[in-house]
């Protein structure tokens, strides 16, 4: 017996129960926040305990996870602003229902993010705003703002999507390298370009600088048409939920989600929820792709913009002849033709 009068075996059992209870506390949905300048990076973490151990996803994409008592370690693959893949290692502990820890960049010992703090709080879906008035006119040029997004690299593909994606070659298969539209999902997610919003009665028109693409969002309460063709920008219907602008897009033509080449089917739909800042000069969005043919979990992107009255939308030049001329000169035209199934 110990000083408290409890047998050693009971203490061992209590200790094991305590560790198990701490571990069980990791399961569920969390909102991660990384304190990395110039702006916080946020994302949805989902943790599940399976028969094979622990599994986790960030923004719909799988991540490495290790749980030991009240300590958790996550390795999250992301794409940096220059397009290169980096791996963030988050190590933290669970105390009073909050995850806290620090992060390092596995691939870069000199990264400014090394040692930065992170937190995780239980995710609760915000109820749709009621009674709030919709913001003022959104017309104007919006420039990308920093932060917001993990830029998660890989997603949770279905076996069919994995088979299609295997062997994808960016320099031959990516739509925009041959001046073909990369589609709505990629355009919203790309961070380096301006977009101009033109709000009129019953419609919002968005002019993207990249690709000189045009998007129309119908706000008149209509339903999706039955005889409208699929297209890279799809067919978008929007409505206001209080001060939130909610847009659903269907009738997308098959395309790829991002630079990695993960597929999007013609039956996919995209839901965007936009929030306007209190001063009316900031715009943020959560973009969710629903495509069960290709993704086990819906991929999520988060973007932010600031209105800039001094910005300009410049012409976007893309010459497909240069792409095909190079293939011809390198003797690779037949290789390109043989990969037609990759171009959807």
Q: What is the pLDDT along the chain (344 residues), one digit of tens a residue?
A: 454 555 554 444 434 434 444 556 899 999 999 999 888 999 999 999 988 899 999 999 999 999 999 999 999 999 887 778 999 999 999 999 999 999 999 989 999 999 999 999 999 887 766 666 778 899 999 999 987 789 999 999 999 999 999 989 998 999 999 999 999 999 988 767 899 999 999 999 999 999 999 999 999 999 999 999 999 999 999 999 988 999 999 999 999 998 889 999 999 999 999 999 989 999 999 999 999 999 999 999 999 999 999 999 999 999 999 999 999 999 999 999 999 888 76
> What are the counts of helices (DSSP H) followed by strands (DSSP E) for the chain?
6, 19
Q: Which residues of 50-67 are buried (b: 16+ CB within 10 A; e: fewer)?
A: eeeebebbbbbbbbebeb
Tokens 């010459």 identify what position?
A: 319
Beta strands 244-250 and 255-256 are unpaired
Beta strands 269-276 and 282-290 are antiparallel
Q: List Cβ neighbours of 307 (8 Å cut-off, separation of 6 or more).
A: 140, 141, 142, 143, 280, 281, 282, 283
Q: What is the distance of C-alpha 26 from the center of its chain?
A: 22
By CB neighbour count within 10 A (0-12 exposed, 13-18 middle, 19+ buried), where does 149 fall?
Answer: buried
Which run of H or of E encompasses 326? helix 320-329
Which run of H or of E encompasses 105? strand 98-105
Rounded Cα distance, 125 and 117, in Å: 24
Q: How many CB atoms lie within 10 A of CB 258?
A: 21
Rounded Cα distance, 104 and 88, in Å: 6
Do 206 and 196 meet the contact criterion of CB atoms below 8 Å apart?
A: yes
What is the DSSP code string of 34-53? E--TTS-EEEEEEEEEETTE
Query: What's residue 163's pLDDT?
Result: 93
Q: Residue 154: which of 287, 22, 64, 91 has the closest Cα?
A: 64
Residues linked to residue 54 through DSSP beta bridges, in sequence order: 49
Tokens 């035209």 identify what position?
A: 333
Query: What's residue 11's pLDDT?
Result: 41
Q: List Cβ neighbours of 326 (8 Å cut-off, separation of 6 or more).
A: none
Do 294 and 262 meet the contact criterion of CB atoms below 8 Å apart?
A: yes
Rounded Cα distance, 284 and 273, in Å: 8
**pTM reported for the whole predicted model:** 0.90
Query: What's residue 8's pLDDT?
Result: 53
Domains parsed from the chain with CATH numbers? 8-122 (2.40.128.120), 140-329 (2.40.128.20)
DSSP state for residue 171 in the 8-state scheme: H
| Token output for 169 | 């070659």
Phi–psi pair at 213, nearest 5 degrees: -80, 150
Query: What's residue 306's pLDDT?
Result: 95
Q: Residue 255: which of 189, 336, 341, 344 has the closest Cα?
A: 344
């Amino acid at each position: 017996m110990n000083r408290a009068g409890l047998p050693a075996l009971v203490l061992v059992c209590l200790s094991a129960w305590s560790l198990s209870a701490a571990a069980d506390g990791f399961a569920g949905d969390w909102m991660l926040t990384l304190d990395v300048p110039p702006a916080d990076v946020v994302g949805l973490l989902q943790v599940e305990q399976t028969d094979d151990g622990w599994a986790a996803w960030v923004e719909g994409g799988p991540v490495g996870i290790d749980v030991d008592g009240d300590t958790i370690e996550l390795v999250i693959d992301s794409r940096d602003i220059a397009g290169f893949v980096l791996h963030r290692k988050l190590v933290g502990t669970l105390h009073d229902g909050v995850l806290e820890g620090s992060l390092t960049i596995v691939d870069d010992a000199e990264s400014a993010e090394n040692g930065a703090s992170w937190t995780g709080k239980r995710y609760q879906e915000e109820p749709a705003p009621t009674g709030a008035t919709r913001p003022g006119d959104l017309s104007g040029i919006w420039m990308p703002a920093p932060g917001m997004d993990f830029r998660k690299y890989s997603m949770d593909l279905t076996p069919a999507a994995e088979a299609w994606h295997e062997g994808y070659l960016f320099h031959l298969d990516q739509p925009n390298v041959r001046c073909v539209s990369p589609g709505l999902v990629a355009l919203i997610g790309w961070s380096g370009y301006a977009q101009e919003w033109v709000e009129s009665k019953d419609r919002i028109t968005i002019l993207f600088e990249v690709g000189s693409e045009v998007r129309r969002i119908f706000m008149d309460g209509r339903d999706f048409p039955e005889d409208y063709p699929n297209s890279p920008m799809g067919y978008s219907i929007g409505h206001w939920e209080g001060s939130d602008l909610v847009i659903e897009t269907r009738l997308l033509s098959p395309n790829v989600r991002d630079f990695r080449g993960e597929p999007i089917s013609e039956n996919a739909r995209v839901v965007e929820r936009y929030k306007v800042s209190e001063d009316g000069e900031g715009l943020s969005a959560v973009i969710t792709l629903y495509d069960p043919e290709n993704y086990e979990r819906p991929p999520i992107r988060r973007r932010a913009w600031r209105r800039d009255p001094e910005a300009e939308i410049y012409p976007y030049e893309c010459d497909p002849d240069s792409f095909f001329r190079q293939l011809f000169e390198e003797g690779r035209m037949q290789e390109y033709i043989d990969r037609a199934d990759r171009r959807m």
